[in-house]
Amino acid sequence: MKKRVAVLGGGLIGSVVASDLSKDEGLEVVVFDSNPEVVDKLGKCSAFKTFTKDLSKERSVQNLLKDFDIAIGAVPGFLGMKIIREVIEAGKNAVDISFSESDYFVMDKIAKERNLTILIDCGVAPGMSNILSYSLVQEFDFVESLSIFVGGLPQVRRLPYQYQIVFSPIDVIEEYTRPARVVENGKVVIKEALSEIELIDFPGIGTLEAFNTDGLRSLIRTMNVPNMREKTLRYPGHADKIRLLRDSGFFSKETIDVKEVKVKPIDVTARLLFPLWQMKETDKDFTAMRVNASGMKNGKRKNVSYELLDYYNEESETTSMARTTAFPAAIMARMILNGKFKFEGICPPEYISENKEVFSELLFELQERGVFFKKVDLK
């Protein structure tokens, strides 16, 4: 009998998750999305079933999961907590890639009581960034610092923003406004998003700018490293333009009166910006990542990195950000279904690397799909 997978959200990421899983003859994949146009489009050209379902309604997810073996959350961040809560209430295992600011660990106790594996943040960043960070740290006697640089960018730069949306539009603005947590000298420090801009050279790409974003997430809880930071990568000049909009109030969620009409500035900004940032059919992207750890090993200084440079896939016509985010989720969902990976409770992605066999298989399966994380010993 086939095992049934419910993919909650059929957007840029969820559709690739479903497509990858549907290649397994032992799985029946069903995608649920609130947008009828998305459902109709996927239903015409896919090997999986699609249904229109408003996932935001209370208990909508809990009720539909009765006959499924696992759920994969691929919804915008603001729905992430609600989705996972209902998955747990339904008594199902889950893999989630929603970039939510919510603390999923508040549901750890009930997930453990129900013997569930709830793998959160299992994309590229967060996700692979966590997994690779945890793996690198295990190689040291003492780690002084951990730095993560990651970003998805268009291959062709177009002024003024030199950026295109490669994941949920709502989550893009959230990334630019949410305060960033970093660790300095063993203490968690809150910094403004888009702050501390620095220039980073990426071989094959050139110079990119990096700025603070709230991407460390569970690593703050799970790793004892005195200095940790995560920065988002963009083309030089992007951050200053976004910071000008943010500091001028264009991202505010507070209602204002404009000629006796009540509007939220963020709604107007989104309506203006998103068409400019939308990827067109001919547009292509790439994903760049560098995870670096430095410290001491056997009395000697050690400095090692994992690096990724992944491009839009011409054959499958799939964005790099969708591939690098969706594939880890799909691969780990398979391993949960076949019993290779099990963790009772809320599982941050970094714990995957504690199981060397699972970690190796994850990297191998990603390579089979054309996603390569290169390890570089910087001495």
State the CB neighbour count (10 A cutoff) for residue 322.
27
322 Cβ neighbours under 8 A, 6+ residues apart: 12, 13, 15, 16, 166
Span of 63-72, 97-106, 241-250, 317-326 with lowest mean pLDDT? 97-106
Percentage of the chain beyond pLDDT 90 is 80
Query: pLDDT (tens digit, 9 = 90+) per residue, 103-159?
Result: 899 999 999 999 999 999 999 999 999 999 999 999 999 999 999 999 999 999 999
β-strand 285-297 against 300-311: which pairing, if any? antiparallel
Indicate if the pLDDT at residue 356 is higher than 90: yes
Q: What is the DSSP string of 270-333?
A: HHHHHHHHPPPTT--EEEEEEEEEEEEETTEEEEEEEEEEEE-BTTTTB-HHHHHHHHHHHHHH
Tell me the backbone φ, ψ of residue 277, rounded to 5 degrees.
Answer: -95, -10
Instruction: Kindly state the DSSP code that residue 123 receives in the 8-state scheme.
Output: B
d(CA 289, CA 310): 9
What is the pTM (predicted TM-score) of this model?
0.93
pLDDT tens digits, residue range 289-338? Answer: 999 999 999 999 999 999 999 999 999 989 999 999 999 999 999 999 99
Q: What is the pLDDT of residues 17-43, one digit of tens each?
A: 999 999 999 999 999 999 888 888 888
Helix (H, G, I), strand (E, B) or coil at 82: helix
Check whether 44 has a pLDDT greater than 90.
Answer: no
DSSP character at residue 122: -
pLDDT at 379: 65
Domain architecture of the chain: domains with CATH: 3-124+320-373 (3.40.50.720), 128-311 (3.30.360.10)
Radius of gyration of the chain (CA): 20
pLDDT of residue 166: 67
> In sequence order, what DSSP letters do the residues of 26-63 get, joined into one string?
TEEEEEEES-HHHHHHHHHH-SSEEEE--TTSTTHHHH
Q: Give residue-wise pLDDT tens across range 252-303.
A: 999 999 999 999 999 999 889 888 898 888 899 999 999 999 999 999 999 9
Question: Can you name the residues that pair with 339 across neighbouring β-strands?
Answer: none
Q: Which residue has the tokens 């790409």?
A: 205
Mean pLDDT, the chain, rounded, equals 93
Instruction: Give the dihedral sign, CA 313/74/190/220.
Output: negative
